[in-house]
Amino acid sequence: MGYKVVVVGATGNVGKEMLNILAEREFPVDEIAALASRKSLGTEVSFGDRTLKTQDLEQFDFTGWDIALFAIGSDATKVYAPKAASQGCVVIDNSSLYRYDPEIPLIVPEVNADDIVRYKNKNIIANPNCSTAQMVVALKPLHDRAKIKRVVVATYQSVSGTGKEAIDELWEQTKGIYVPGQEVAPKVYPKQIAFNVIPHIDVFLDSGETKEEWKMVAETKKIVDPSIKVTATCVRVPVFVGHSEAINIEFEDFLDWEEATEILREAPGVMVVDKREAGGYITPIECVGEYATYVSRIRQDSTIENGLNLWCVSDNLRKGAALNAVQIAEVLGQRCLKKG
């Protein structure tokens, strides 16, 4: 006996990826519904070898459905997630709306799967920010060994994290630079993204940090350990898919880079590719379509007593969003709902 699953926002980048991953991982689905806004009503999306027609989210009755994977913005989620939850359907939400609610678990299955039982509080589970998800997968096994005091991270985030319009903007701007008279002015981003980097993701806060940077701090504390100090600089780069992060870690206890490498090789969800030679590391283009969080460039930081540096790369549409949501659904099924 399988599950009745709803994918909300099925025509977007993350929603389509959720459908792909549910099929790839052979999630035990008895029935599936693809929902979208009224303007996308009837649009066809793929689920394995099947084609689904999208249904109207506004009119949908979640009664009798087991799990709803939400991949829509916070405003719409605020309306429809409580509706689904109140009708007995467990919501796994990809927006930022519920991540910081103390009553709602924020889950990365490789890190804090045990917290999933707290879904009963509101029948909702939050999926973390894409940049946080890949980082904590790498941090947790090291934290278990040597206890992390402080993390300094600089991100290199792809445009797909913003959405389809941003992908189009990068593509059109790149082409336009080579064709006089066809230059494309920035609309999605405040400055040109083609052949450029922009140290600005989400809105600015009074502290001077952006909300994306604040998210990484708050979410790491909630998922891994509230005592960890985190400071982040989040940068948008002209890459279509795949987020990269340069991470500096300070531990309470000494951890040799060789031992850290072995720990990460054994860690769930992590793939170490780290040869100290040209090309002996992973770049964003190589992680596209993959499940793993890749770690490279593991080395001692000689400027502090107990420090390590590493490079972390992952497909942000997968581990950063859709894959993590499906993994949450798998853990929910195995540990709580127990139907599949």
Does position 340 have pLDDT exceeding 70, yes or no?
no
pLDDT of residue 39: 84
Residue-range domains of the chain with CATH: 3-127+321-336 (3.40.50.720), 131-158+197-314 (3.30.360.10)
pLDDT tier at 23 (50, 70, 90 boundaries)? very high
Beta pairing partners, 157: 236
Structure tokens at 206: 């009074």
pLDDT tens-digit profile of 110-127? 999 999 999 999 999 999
User: Rounded to an integer, what distance in angstroms lies between the CA atom of residue 15 and that of residue 117?
Assistant: 25
Return the number of other C-beta atoms located less than 10 Å from residue 28's C-beta: 15
What radius of gyration, in Å, describes the C-alpha atoms of the chain? 20
243 is catalytic: yes
* Strand, helix or coil for residue 38: helix
User: Rounded to an integer, what distance in angstroms lies between the CA atom of residue 235 and that of residue 210?
Assistant: 10
Percent of the chain with pLDDT over 90: 96
CA within 13 Å, CB half, 298 = 22
Ramachandran class of 26: left when φ > 0, alpha when ψ lies in -120 to 50, beta otherwise: left
User: Rounded to an integer, what distance in angstroms lies between the CA atom of residue 101 and that of residue 277?
Assistant: 45
Ramachandran class of 208: left when φ > 0, alpha when ψ lies in -120 to 50, beta otherwise: left
Catalytic entry in 89, 130, 234, 312: 130
Binding-site entries for substrate:
157, 236
| Residues making up the chain, counted from first to last | 340
130 is catalytic: yes
Kindly report the pTM of this predicted structure: 0.95
Binding-site entries for phosphate:
99
Which position has the token pair 């949450």?
Answer: 328
Percent of the chain with pLDDT over 70: 100
Q: What share of the chain is helix, strand, coil (3-state, %, to 5)?
A: 35, 25, 40
Structure tokens at 109: 């299955």
**Mode of pairing for the β-strands spanning 90-93 and 229-236:** unpaired
Catalytic entry in 89, 143, 234, 243: 243
pLDDT tens-digit profile of 277-324? 999 999 999 999 999 999 999 999 999 999 999 999 999 999 999 999
Which position has the token pair 């991982």?
Answer: 25
Cα of first residue to Cα of last residue in the chain, in angstroms, is 6
Does position 338 have pLDDT exceeding 90, yes or no?
no
Q: What is the separation of C-alpha 319 from the centre of its chain, rounded to a whole number of angstroms?
A: 5
Binding-site entries:
11-14, 39-40, 99, 157, 160-161, 236, 316
